[in-house]
């Protein structure tokens, strides 16, 4: 039998989102109903609201979440009622050529829940990244649930499902950063801070944090930055070149802008790699100096930190529990579901690292 819960819905491009009643169906075969405990407010949700990802309105926003499994459908064996889980944006097939070669983040046949959540008038909702976690309960494919240590605080665990995995995974998996190498991270929001933390865990010799917000730069030092550059003080590329006497081994762009993606490439030393984590708007072209490629400089994207969720999530929870991941300090505000529009405005202004919706707040 379906249930009715409160959820945050984006009904039209660029308009304020609404807290409204939605209908969530019972889990079908291979599906799980999850009661959300905490969900981070991520730039990706803002991109959905602004129409930057698709025009399949109305969207049920939210995806960076943790919660407890309430019920499962037929054939589900990996998780069960009462399990504490982190939600993943898609369930991989395990059978395609990407999965079989051990690269599930490239899976060609991913799954989300088949049954649709709806508004009170019957309109089908498009869940953000196949999750839709700005809701008291949501329906996902069971393969999107990764069971982790229930001792982890829900607000912290939820961050692992998107922003932290994207940043930390880019440093540890996509790049990967090796001991003693030099790193620059452009953008010190939640994703950038996670990349800094990941580079520190990897043993980078120098980690340069770049932002225009002094508070974020101070926070970056706590996450492992050895140097900070305020881009308001001048060309960050020139400053990186001066600090390193020739450029970095790895740069990480964690904003999603044409200008900063180009800067990430320009601050590389010979043989260096620019890793683009930020979501650059669809159709945006970036311009690079072709001659620079003769120095074996590279530029590449990072798809959710090249993650293997069933392996990475428990590992990252262990990192957090042992003090290696400094996730508590990434949470700038803990808010209620009704506060989401204000959180989006703070996100647009670049004032905070992460707001987290707590469903017991």
Q: What is the pLDDT of residues 271-289, one digit of tens each?
A: 999 999 998 988 899 999 9
With a cut of 80, say whether residue 356 has pLDDT above it: yes
pLDDT at residue 179 tops 60: yes
Give 100: exposed, middle or buried? Use CB within 10 Å, 0-12, 13-18, 19+. Answer: exposed
Residue partners of 290: CB distance under 8 A and separation at least 6: none
Phi and psi, residue 357, nearest 5°? -80, 125
Of 106, 101, 102, 113, nearest to 143 by C-alpha is 113
Residue owning tokens 């001066």: 242
| Homologous superfamily of 3-161+331-358 | Medium-chain alcohol dehydrogenases, catalytic domain (3.90.180.10)
- String of b and e for 16-34 (b: at least 16 CB within 10 Å)? ebebeebbbbebeebbbbb
Sign of CA dihedral 220, 222, 225, 228: positive
The confidence score (pLDDT) of residue 353 equals 81
Gap between the Cα atoms of 261 and 272, Å rounded: 14
Q: Please, is 71 exposed, middle or buried when counting C-beta atoms within 10 Å of its C-beta (0-12, 13-18, 19+)?
A: middle
Where do we find the tokens 């010190």? Answer: 188
User: Which is more confident, 10 or 360?
Assistant: 10
Q: At what angle do helices 214-223 and 190-202 cross, to 10 degrees?
A: 30
pLDDT score at 105:
93
Report pLDDT for 180. 98
**What is the average pLDDT score of the chain?**
95
Instruction: Output the pLDDT for position 350.
Output: 80
The residue to which tokens 């407010």 are assigned: 41
Q: Where are the alpha helices (DSSP H) in the chain?
A: 43-49, 97-100, 154-160, 163-169, 190-202, 214-223, 236-244, 258-266, 309-321, 340-349
The string of pLDDT tens digits covering residues 214-259 is 999 999 999 999 999 999 999 999 999 999 999 999 999 999 999 9
Residue 58 preceded by cis peptide, ω within 30: yes
pLDDT band at 349 (very low <50, low <70, confident <90, very high): confident
pLDDT at 361 over 60: no
Superfamily of structural domain 166-304: NAD(P)-binding Rossmann-like Domain (3.40.50.720)
Mean pLDDT of 47-64: 93
- Residue 205: the pLDDT is 98
> How high is the pLDDT of residue 200?
98
Closest CA to 273 of 161, 136, 205, 177: 177
pLDDT (tens digit per residue) in 193-219: 999 999 999 999 999 999 999 999 999
Q: What is the pLDDT of residue 71?
A: 98
Percent of the chain with pLDDT over 90: 91
Q: For the chain, what are the domain ranges? A: 3-161+331-358, 166-304
User: Contact 288/119 with Cβ under 8 angstroms?
Assistant: no
Instruction: Look at 132 and 361; give whichever has higher pLDDT.
Output: 132
pLDDT digits (tens, 9 = 90+) for 17-52: 999 999 999 999 999 999 999 999 998 899 899 988
pTM score, two decimals? 0.91
pLDDT value of residue 347: 87
Res 329 pLDDT > 70: yes
Alpha-carbon gap, residue 170 to 301, rounded angstroms: 9
- Please check whether residue 7 is in contact with residue 20, taking contact to mean a CB–CB distance below 8 angstroms: yes
Pick 89 or 28 by higher pLDDT.
28
For residues 8-22, give the mean pLDDT: 95
């Amino acid at each position: 039998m379906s249930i009715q819960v409160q959820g945050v819905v984006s009904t039209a491009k660029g308009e304020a989102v609404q807290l409204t009643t939605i209908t969530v169906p019972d889990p079908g075969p291979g599906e799980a109903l999850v009661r959300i405990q905490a969900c981070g407010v991520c730039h990706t949700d803002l991109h959905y609201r602004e129409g930057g990802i698709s025009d399949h309105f109305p969207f049920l926003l939210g995806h960076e979440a943790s919660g407890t499994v309430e019920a499962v459908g037929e054939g589900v064996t990996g998780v069960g009622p009462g399990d504490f889980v982190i939600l993943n944006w898609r369930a991989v097939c395990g059978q395609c050529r990407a999965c079989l070669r051990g690269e599930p983040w490239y899976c060609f046949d991913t799954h989300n829940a088949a049954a649709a959540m709806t508004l009170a008038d019957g309109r089908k909702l498009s869940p953000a990244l196949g999750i839709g976690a700005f809701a008291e309960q949501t329906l996902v494919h069971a393969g999107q649930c990764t069971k982790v240590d229930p001792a982890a605080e829900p607000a912290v665990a939820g961050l692992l499902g998107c922003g932290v995995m994207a940043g930390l995974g880019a440093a540890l998996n996509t790049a990967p950063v090796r001991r003693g190498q030099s790193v620059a991270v452009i953008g010190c929001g939640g994703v950038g801070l996670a990349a800094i933390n990941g580079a520190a865990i990897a043993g980078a010799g120098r980690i340069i944090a770049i932002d225009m917000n002094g508070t974020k730069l101070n926070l970056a030092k706590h996450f492992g930055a050895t140097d900070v550059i305020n881009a308001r003080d001048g060309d960050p590329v020139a400053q990186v070149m001066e600090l390193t006497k020739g450029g970095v081994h790895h740069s990480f762009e964690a904003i999603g802008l044409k200008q900063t993606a180009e800067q990430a490439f320009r601050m590389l030393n010979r043989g260096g790699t620019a890793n683009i984590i930020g979501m650059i708007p669809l159709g945006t072209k970036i311009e690079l100096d072709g001659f620079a490629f003769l120095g074996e400089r590279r530029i590449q994207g990072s798809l959710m930190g090249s993650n293997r969720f069933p392996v990475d999530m428990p590992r990252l929870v262990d990192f957090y529990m042992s003090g290696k991941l400094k996730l508590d300090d990434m949470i700038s505000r803990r808010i209620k579901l009704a506060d989401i529009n204000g959180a989006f405005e703070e996100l647009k202004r670049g004032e905070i690292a992460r707001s987290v919706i707590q469903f017991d707040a």
